[in-house]
Structure 1
């Protein structure tokens, strides 16, 4: 059964307006409908959970984790498997009924008590209703809709970070409680533009706490990242390529493959894992394969090894490698083998067996390495050296160039910008946007390579902590530092990181390659007036504006 769809949650949305027939990400209308139904159910679940919290009751961690998993599953390029969404919808019904029985309320907003049917066919037959899909409430003020969707997309992004934290044992009920509150608020017809703006700022605040939690989870489990010369060329032998963001899955896989003669390569946003002591202690974690997520169809084509996707970003697999692709955790694709969690454990035997059967690369490539692993501890342990280099004129300016990469034309801007930065400037980079320039040799300033790889997108926390520490060292406001933010966005994690930066009062952020379709002109003007948020233009023009 086919359904109409409307989705504009990511940067690649059709025509810069919205996907209405098929997602550019290849999400089909049926999966889009099921995701809309799931989010609609979660809004009501959030309402009843919030009521119970207001009455002094504690929401079980189990429910916070489940709600987080659901919002994460609807993030761009994560889960395309209809049967997984049927199960999410069934379980959401179960939890919501339980909360409704416990909460004492007679004034629930329209739609809060909705219980969905539980077969694929019936779910896809659900008629449109207010708040079901993005555009299903035709009378809603367009600026309210803009800020409502900004809030929802930010919740999806934070959900990804919260999920990665709690699988490593770190959980914070305040983060979950805000998620319930934010979802509930989107059913409230009386909220104003100012109300929604304030909720988005509160989300930015909460996400900063969430990124701090994830940082503690990653470093607590695997140690603080340290500067590392990472291999980016191929080695002979069987191998597994690990993509996504989940350090926990990589750690388990490394343990299960030790001594089996299988090389492990990171891919995409997993690249920073090569700098964690608790991961790189495994000698068969040998380096990074390929580039950013949008190149995977080309890079994985007939790849003679196994591929494990641990989170976003998954593209439609080609037949030439679909048989050697495996998903884990939140990720799903129809007819692709999924590695489930059973009693808290994942058995990666099918991935290992496939890697051994395929036999891998037949020869070593000439070795090439690049520097990485410059998270906040690695940088701030040299804070005095950095401060002195600035005072002595050896470092004129810092640029944070990073974020989500993508396939849209215009992203060569970030390569050109990096290439054109003066030799007395330092580039901090994070997320997969780094692949636009991380293999360039731009030289060094003293002990520092000019490109400092801070880590994954969630390591914006590390970059922000570096900026705040430098502002203390220079005894100035963070916006008075010789530091500029050149951000590339693609999906909802970039959305919530931007909200965190705005909450912290960071100004003069350059955003590209395009502005979000869900931001109306009026809301954009507020962001420009309040934070001087700017759209990128050309590298030459923007560098001239920044450096004078």
Structure 2
């Protein structure tokens, strides 16, 4: 076994990837990612101690978020970048230790992660990684809960980092991240203590998603119901993938008046609904579908391609020279757009120049899809929705949010959408929607049967809608609403959303296409007994059960 990774739904044999990740990362990158998590725990220890002594440091707080985010599936595959991240974690750890000690803290620490002294070389980190793998925690249930907590933290970190770049931050999120990472270092921690921390992570996840929602809507306006073109027009083009709205905005500003059109891909589709982004006339449309189809779709796009966050898959040689990464994304040999200096924008001129050099795209027909059903838009329809429910025109809402992926089993979600009764409405967010958002499912009295709230980053909208409907119907329990949850998960942001739903008290969630490999049998049993989490089954059985409120 040269690696052990089971953080995503594609873990080999639903156990773990042990030689090479299905995502494309090799054992070296896997080891360096493990070491980064280890070193972030050491940084978290001294940051926590310093905070207790009245000293905070935003650089350290932010790097904890960035470091966690960089290890999410399909973000960064570049070993050199991970060596640099590990070095920065060590440097910041020692800086925070010095600050803490200067305020009277004990210079000794009970954890190796807070004290070891690396030579800061790739070889040094790889050697250390062999002794600090996930399996170093021998108790299966403790290991399972620690990893569940860490994966939830990765999702929280991603959402918090997106908010931070828009100048929205929260000391509560910083503090919880530090505290939770330090708790995973404890050898004496109990199952019950970890379960409490996991549920607390759900609470922080809700607050983080609310913070990001506020950051996005304050900066770019409240999403509006918008039709988006899915074809191509003649002329040079840039395709933007990932999730980062600020990167898209800065690119739009730098391409304005240059004759270069900008298209979104994957999770960037919801950008078209924001007033401050849709005002750019050269934001033409959305090309392509979910992340896992990019190797085929990018060959068809004769322009430059920019990755702003996950979800990057190993690029093919046929288009590799047209791909650029920025932020935390990385692939060996791919051109990287560095972060901007304070008060300036990133310099996307290499991306723009490549788009012009490519000579342009040829027009291609595409249908229009309707997006923009974030919570404000749905609440604007609240009277209409409530009336439709009371009259029986809408019998049930089905939340089919989350991630898409390669597995054939995910066709289940398309078939569910096709076969749901015509008096049901699908609430969605995330790239899971690409399984059915091109289907003509019609509407119910003018209410579309697919209400797309946006990115996985916008899952807060779905929780908000449910809570507001609970109030509107005068219910005392969110589970009494005519809403079923049929969630698709792939990576750690989906874990974060799941923990948020559990914190809000949602029960009976169907989770697929497989239950997470990192859940030990005992931990899975706790989730089933306390929250009635269940695996998906057949399309027919699940639809019948959901329509019966089960």
Corresponding position of 1:67? 64
CA distance in 1, matches of 2:389, 2:83: 56
Indicate how the Cα distance of structure 1 residues 34 and 338 shifts in structure 2: closer, same or farther if over 3 A, else same: same
Corresponding position of 1:501? 501
Corresponding position of 2:242? 244
Q: Which moved more, 1:328-337 or 1:3-12?
A: 3-12
SS at match of 1:479: helix
Corresponding position of 2:88? 91
CA distance in 2, matches of 1:116, 1:270: 39
Please show how residues 101-250 of structure 1 align to structure 2 within 5 Å: 101=98, 102-103=100-101, 104-105=105-106, 106=108, 108-126=110-128, 128-129=130-131, 132-137=132-137, 140-250=138-248
| Alpha-carbon shift at residue 417 of structure 1 (Å) | 0.3
CA distance in 2, matches of 1:275, 1:114: 49
| Alignment counterpart, residue 78 of structure 1, candidates 53, 75, 81 | 75
Please show how residues 363-374 of structure 1 align to structure 2 within 5 Å: 364-374=363-373
8 Å CA contact 1:41, 1:115 repeated in 2: no
CA distance in 2, matches of 1:422, 1:431: 23
Please show how residues 327-346 of structure 1 align to structure 2 within 5 Å: 327-344=325-342, 345-346=345-346
CA distance in 2, matches of 1:116, 1:150: 28
Corresponding position of 1:407? 406
| Alpha-carbon shift at residue 367 of structure 1 (Å) | 4.6
Q: Structure 1 stretches (4+) deviating beyond 6 angstroms? A: none
Corresponding position of 1:357? 357
Corresponding position of 1:7? 5
| Alpha-carbon shift at residue 381 of structure 1 (Å) | 1.1
| Alpha-carbon shift at residue 46 of structure 1 (Å) | 1.1
| Alpha-carbon shift at residue 123 of structure 1 (Å) | 2.1
8 Å CA contact 1:234, 1:365 repeated in 2: yes
| Alpha-carbon shift at residue 302 of structure 1 (Å) | 5.5
Corresponding position of 2:511? 511
| Alpha-carbon shift at residue 382 of structure 1 (Å) | 1.4
CA distance in 1, matches of 2:118, 2:109: 20
SS at match of 2:400: strand
Corresponding position of 1:461? 460
CA distance in 2, matches of 1:28, 1:496: 25
* 1:539 maps to 2:539: yes
Q: Deviations over 1:51-101 (max 9, x none)?
A: 22233x142222111111111111100001111111111111111112222
Q: Which moved more, 1:87-96 or 1:102-111?
A: 102-111
TM-score, structure 2 normalization: 0.96
CA distance in 2, matches of 1:338, 1:506: 41
| Alpha-carbon shift at residue 127 of structure 1 (Å) | 5.9
| Alpha-carbon shift at residue 427 of structure 1 (Å) | 0.7
8 Å CA contact 1:244, 1:269 repeated in 2: yes
Corresponding position of 1:485? 485
CA distance in 2, matches of 1:450, 1:233: 23
Indicate how the Cα distance of structure 1 residues 212 and 358 shifts in structure 2: closer, same or farther if over 3 A, else same: same
8 Å CA contact 1:44, 1:114 repeated in 2: no
CA distance in 2, matches of 1:127, 1:463: 40
Corresponding position of 2:40? 42
CA distance in 2, matches of 1:302, 1:271: 18
Q: Which moved more, 1:393-402 or 1:105-114?
A: 105-114
Corresponding position of 1:522? 522
Corresponding position of 1:397? 396
CA distance in 1, matches of 2:339, 2:364: 36
Indicate how the Cα distance of structure 1 residues 352 and 198 shifts in structure 2: closer, same or farther if over 3 A, else same: same
CA distance in 2, matches of 1:127, 1:268: 34
SS at match of 1:407: coil
| Alignment counterpart, residue 97 of structure 2, candidates 100, 104, 114 | 100
| Alpha-carbon shift at residue 411 of structure 1 (Å) | 0.2
8 Å CA contact 1:110, 1:187 repeated in 2: no
Corresponding position of 2:268? 270
8 Å CA contact 2:166, 2:246 repeated in 1: yes
Q: Deviations over 1:270-317 (max 9, x none)?
A: 010010000000011111100000000111126310000000000000
Corresponding position of 2:445? 446
CA distance in 2, matches of 1:86, 1:111: 16
| Alignment counterpart, residue 306 of structure 1, candidates 304, 308, 329 | 304
CA distance in 2, matches of 1:342, 1:270: 21
8 Å CA contact 1:471, 1:481 repeated in 2: yes
Q: Deviations over 1:194-217 (max 9, x none)?
A: 000110111111111111111111
Structure 1 unaligned spans of 5+? none
8 Å CA contact 2:238, 2:303 repeated in 1: yes
8 Å CA contact 2:50, 2:97 repeated in 1: no
SS at match of 2:135: coil
CA distance in 2, matches of 1:332, 1:366: 32
SS at match of 1:181: helix
8 Å CA contact 1:89, 1:116 repeated in 2: no
8 Å CA contact 1:487, 1:511 repeated in 2: yes
8 Å CA contact 2:35, 2:129 repeated in 1: no
| Alpha-carbon shift at residue 385 of structure 1 (Å) | 1.1
CA distance in 1, matches of 2:113, 2:165: 32
8 Å CA contact 1:291, 1:435 repeated in 2: yes
Please show how residues 369-384 of structure 1 align to structure 2 within 5 Å: 369-384=368-383
CA distance in 1, matches of 2:341, 2:518: 41
| Alpha-carbon shift at residue 110 of structure 1 (Å) | 4.1
Equivalenced residues, count: 540
SS at match of 2:484: strand
